[in-house]
Structure 1
Amino acid sequence: MRNMKKITTTAICSVSAIIGIVLTNYSDEIRTSRAGLELIGNAESCIRDPYNCPAGVLTVGIGSTGNVEQKRYTDEEIARRWVDDIKTAEQCVNRYANGFHLPQPVFDAAVSITFNCGCANMRTSTMFKCLNNGDYRAACYEFPRWNKSNGIVLNGLVKRREQEKLLCLSFQGI
């Protein structure tokens, strides 16, 4: 009998389907626009089974890291977890970056990076200081600086930060 490796499959889910659920069932709970959700969702991807992200953190769904159980998640569970995570990032942007007054594209980009990097890392950042001072252009140009995980530049983060920067700069007042 030959040695057989156990074959495991990872169940992916549709970011578009999850965005549809969020916009249909939870849009009154979050401010992040469809453009912001698409940026975050496409950067994170959607996976039903828990996995370790590049930083070694147990993750599921669309970048959700809190209280991850070892099970396969449904679309509704993923959508609910994502809304809660988006709300956490939005609360940070509102509290530490004058989020209530940010133009929508700037807000969406700030929520995306906060979702990815965490409030503790962002709240004292130069980017948030610029947002608090109304210097949106300077804040937008801070995104590329946040391209590392554990000190290593990751191509996925380089691409994500460029997309966030472009979304941030899309505000007509800049």
Structure 2
Amino acid sequence: MPPLPDPLRKKLLAVSGAGLLTIAACYTAFWEGHALQPYADSGGVLTVCYGHTGGDITPETTQTPAQCEALLAADMRQAFAVIDQHVTVPLSDGQRVALAAFIHNLGSGAFARSTLLKRLNAGDIPAACDEFRRWVKVKGVTLNGLVNRRAADEWLCRHGLPDPEATP
């Protein structure tokens, strides 16, 4: 399994002393990118900032950088609440970050119905980590960006967050 992309690993190491919400926001922002103006994502969903979707976004919605940061923090808090609601086994910080980003990207409903969650709650962590790589398609088409993102999610699931003490 390939390691985390070096720019992402460096970003995570830079925030390693921060709280898990900040680390998850950094990780998610790396994959989501940033747009102050709404756009239709690859699935046709109206999206703004760092992958924020929902009824509060209209084609005319424009966000400031500060508003985007606030939306991302709120989205991460919501994703962690979903984890706390549905996961019944202990998780590493890396697993929590990967799951929060996954939930933010796919939605709480998809996560709640997923085999990934079923395997997690059964205590089969290796099989649960394997499940990330199944979530790489949009409308039946495999997207390279999702392949890379899910590989990183799987890596965090298996190996945890990068350790600043172990980094050269």
When normalised by structure 1's length, the TM-score is 0.75
- The match for 1:126 among 115, 121, 145 is 115
Contact kept, 8 Å, 1:106 with 1:136, in 2: the verdict is no
Give the number of equivalent residue pairs.
145
CA distance in 2, matches of 1:107, 1:33: 12
1:1-174 equivalence runs, <5 A: 31-32=20-21, 34=23, 36-66=24-54, 67-69=56-58, 70-98=60-88, 101-171=90-160
Could you list the structure 1 runs, at least 4 aligned residues long, displaced by more than 4 angstroms after superposition: none
For 2:110, the aligned partner's letter is N
CA distance in 2, matches of 1:71, 1:120: 25
CA distance in 1, matches of 2:127, 2:22: 22
What are structure 2's unaligned runs of at least 5 residues? 1-10, 162-168
Counterpart of 2:21 in 1: which secondary structure?
coil
Contact kept, 8 Å, 1:33 with 1:108, in 2: the verdict is no
Q: Could you tell me how far 1:98 is from its partner in structure 2?
A: 2.8
CA distance in 2, matches of 1:134, 1:39: 25
For 1:37, the aligned partner's letter is A
CA distance in 2, matches of 1:157, 1:48: 22
CA distance in 1, matches of 2:156, 2:129: 9
> Which fold has the larger relative contact order, with Cα–Cα distance below 8 Å and residues 6 or more apart in sequence?
2
What are structure 1's unaligned runs of at least 5 residues? 1-15
CA distance in 1, matches of 2:157, 2:26: 14
For 2:101, the aligned partner's letter is S
Q: Indicate the structure (1 or 2) with the bigger Cα radius of gyration.
A: 1
Contact kept, 8 Å, 1:39 with 1:164, in 2: the verdict is no
Give the equivalent residue in structure 2 for 1:3. none
Q: Could you tell me how far 1:82 is from its partner in structure 2?
A: 1.0
Residue identity (%): 30
Higher mean alpha-carbon deviation, 112-121 vs 127-136, is at 127-136
For 2:74, the aligned partner's letter is D
In the superposition, relative to structure 1, how do residues 81 and 33 fare at CA in structure 2: closer, same or farther (>3 Å)? Answer: closer
Counterpart of 1:141 in 2: which secondary structure?
helix
